[in-house]
Structure 1
Amino acid sequence: MLRLFIAVDIPEDIRTLMCGMGGSIPGARAVPTDQLHLTLKFLGDTDSGLLPDIKEALGNIECPPFKICLKRVGHFPPRGNPRVLWAGIDPAMEVTALRNKVEKALAEIGIERDHRKFSAHVTLARLKNSPLNRVTQFLAGNSLFETPTFTVREFLLYSSSLSAKGAVHTVLATFPLTHSQIEE
C-alpha cells in the first residue's frame, strides 16, 4: 500500500516567504517549508498495483499552464475550534478546473471521487488546542497577505510516509501542463 496525493508545488521563493507562518501560535505546528504545496486530491492508502494506471490517467490530462498567487489566510473548520491555518489561492478557478480533471481521470479507472466541496488552499500550520484569540490575532495581522503571482506549469503525484518526525513526501511522477495541440 502506498499513501498517495496529487499536488501543485509552490515555488521555492514563495515557500520562503511563508516559512513558519502561524508557528508562533501556541499549539501550532507549522508545515515545513519544503512541504508547502496545494493538494488537488488526497488518495490515501492505495494498492501499489494501481500506480501504473494512476500515472497513465494523470498523464492524459490536458490543461494549459496558469497563473495564481496565494492570497488571504483563514482556518478550518470555519466555525468551531480551528485545527488548520491556510493561505487561499487567487484566482481559484484554474486550480479547481485542474482538480476536476484529476477527479474525472481517476474516476475513470475506478478511484472514488471526493464528494466534499473543494477549497483550494495551502496548509500553513496544524493547530492543537490553540487559543482562539491568538488565531484571531494571526488572521488580523495577516489579513493583507498576498504573494507574487507565479505560473503553475505542472502537477505531481506524491507518496507520503509517516514517521516520528512527521511526513516524508516523495515525488513519484511529474505531469507538465501543456496547451492542447489544436490546428489553426
Structure 2
Amino acid sequence: MPRLFSALSVPEDVAGALSRLRGGLPGARWMEPADYHITLRFIGDIDEPTARDIDETLAEIHRRAFDVTIEGLDSFGGARPRAIIARVTPTALLAELQADLERRCRRAGLAPETRKFTPHVTLARLRDASPLDVADYLATRSAPRSISFAVDHFVLMSARASVGGGPYITEAVYPLI
C-alpha cells in the first residue's frame, strides 16, 4: 500500500537557502533539501485502486498558479517541540487549493483531515529536543528574508512507511493554470 500525500514542491534554489539553516540543534534529524515540500493534504496508507481514484480526481483540479512566500522559522509542539519549520505565508489561492484537495479526497472516500492546515516546510524532526535548545536555535537563526517562489503545479508524493517518511518520490504532477 502506498503512503501518499499531496504537496507543493520547493524549488532547488529555495531548498538550498533553507538548507543553510541545518545544524546546531541537539536532537534534530534534518530533512534532506531534496525532500523539502509544503504538504497540502496527507492521504495516508491506501490501496492501489484508491490511489488511482485519488490520482484521477486530483488531475481534474484546475486552479490558478500563485506565489508562495516563506516568512520565518518556528517550531511545532510547544513545550514538547517535535519539528523545526519554515513558516509559509497563508494566501487565499493557497487556501483554496488546499480546500479543493480536501473536498476531493473526502469524495474519494477518505476521512476528513482533523488538523488545521498550517502551511510550512519541515526542516527537521525533533526527538528529545530541549525546549530551551529549540528556543535558542530559533533566536539565533533566521530564515533568509522573505523567500518567494512561483507555484505552477502541485504533486502527489509517496513516502516510505516509517516515521519521517523520506526520501519522497513524486508519483504525479498536476499543473496549475
Scaled by the length of structure 2, the TM-score of the pair is 0.91
> What's the counterpart of residue 86 of structure 2?
87
Report the structure number with the largest CA radius of gyration.
1
Q: Deviations over 1:56-78 (max 9, x none)?
A: 1101112100011111111111x
% identical equivalent positions: 33
Inter-CA distance 93–140: structure 2 relative to 1 (3 Å threshold): farther
Q: Is the 8 A contact 1:22 1:138 kept in 2?
A: no
- Letter matched to residue 160 of structure 1: A
**Runs of 4+ more than 6 Å apart:** 163-166
Q: Is the 8 A contact 1:76 1:82 kept in 2?
A: yes
- Letter matched to residue 118 of structure 1: F
> What's the counterpart of residue 69 of structure 1?
69
Q: Summarize the alignment of residues 5-154 of structure 1 with structure 2, pairs less than 5 Å apart.
A: 5-19=5-19, 21-77=21-77, 79-143=78-142, 145-154=144-153
Secondary structure at the residue paired with 2:145?
coil
Deviates more, 1:155-164 or 1:119-128: 155-164
What runs of 5+ residues in structure 1 fail to find an aligned partner? Answer: 179-184
Q: Deviations over 1:139-178 (max 9, x none)?
A: 1123464343111100000111247996221111100001
Q: Summarize the alignment of residues 164-183 of structure 1 with structure 2, pairs less than 5 Å apart.
A: 167-178=166-177
Q: Displacement, 1:51? A: 2.0
What runs of 5+ residues in structure 2 fail to find an aligned partner? Answer: none
CA RMSD of aligned residues (A): 2.0
Inter-CA distance 47–91: structure 2 relative to 1 (3 Å threshold): same
Secondary structure at the residue paired with 1:149?
strand
